[in-house]
Amino acid sequence: MESVIRNSLRAEVNDNLLMNRIFEVVGKMKILVTGAKGQVGTELCEQASARGFDVLAAGRQDLDISDQNAVENYVVEHRPQIIINAAAYTAVDKAEEEVELAEQINALGPKILAVAAAKINIPLLHISTDYVYSGDKEGFYVESDETSAQGIYGKTKHQGELYVREALEQYVTLRTSWVFGVTGNNFVRTMIRLATQHSELGVVADQKGCPTFAGDIARTLLTIAADYNAGKNVSWGTYHYCGKESVTWHEFAETIFEVALQKGVIDKKPKVNALTTAEYPTAAKRPANSVMNCDQFIAAFPAIGQASWQSGLEKVVESLS
């Protein structure tokens, strides 16, 4: 299957001679951010502007990444020097029903972006997920572990990884997990909202992972982009990038309420009952263990390192005060 993907992608890359050229970097680096209105995309655009990048912020209304002609025309017109793909279909349970839509955004979209990037010889920075793993392993996952996604979301994200890998040599794919940010729908914001409405909550306590702040993901990707723009050597490939320290959803919720109480966002901590996965059934099966080891990323990008999710949590809570 992978050889078929490889041959078809290489054929696509060589088809369009019009786009097969390198654009010179003049002045500020121009970055195309897809998924610009999501929680990571919003952070990318804000931080990139603050750092002096020329930002092309493309939400789905601006650019449908599953439309090959639209993507190629956009790249020809705007001439970015790097693409950062933060677009994703992340409705894990709905993906079990909306399979085609998940495939278009999570698999076909990265393929089209990667092919467009290869045609003009620019890098693609791409975000993937811990859901590419089954979650059955004891201990942490490393990049060389077998991928065996349990649901449509994870399967389509893994397919997107394959497309990017086969189309490009200059790419960085970050597998991240339990993403939360200042904007958008995420576990932190949901828990705080529920805490203002209920005195008692039930949260799953037998699924373990590593929360990751959207702002840290954005900072990491933009630092890689800046290194590339400065002519520094970039270690291309697929890496794990998530927050330090693993927790269960139950432990994460308890920490959220502690910080929210300290910051005055809630008046009282709700009682948090520990649930099993069986007691909280969902349409899509989640990994019981999606703890990822980030040593390979730290070795490849020592100046960036791995951030603590607790500091990101404080920022999100403070934004809600």
* Residues that are catalytic: 153
At 17, phi and psi to the nearest 5? -70, -20
In 140-256, the DSSP E strands lie at 171-176, 179-180, 200-204, 208-209, 212-213, 237-240, 247-248
Residues 169, 86, 255, CA angle at the centre, nearest 5°?
A: 120
Q: Would you say the C-alpha torsion 264, 270, 273, 277 has a positive or negative sign?
A: negative
Query: What is the residue type of 214?
Result: A
Task: List b or e across 102-131, with b for residues whose CB sees 16 or more CB atoms inside 10 angstroms.
Answer: bbbbbbbbbbbbbbbbbbbebbbbbbbbbb
Place of tokens 């990139």: 48
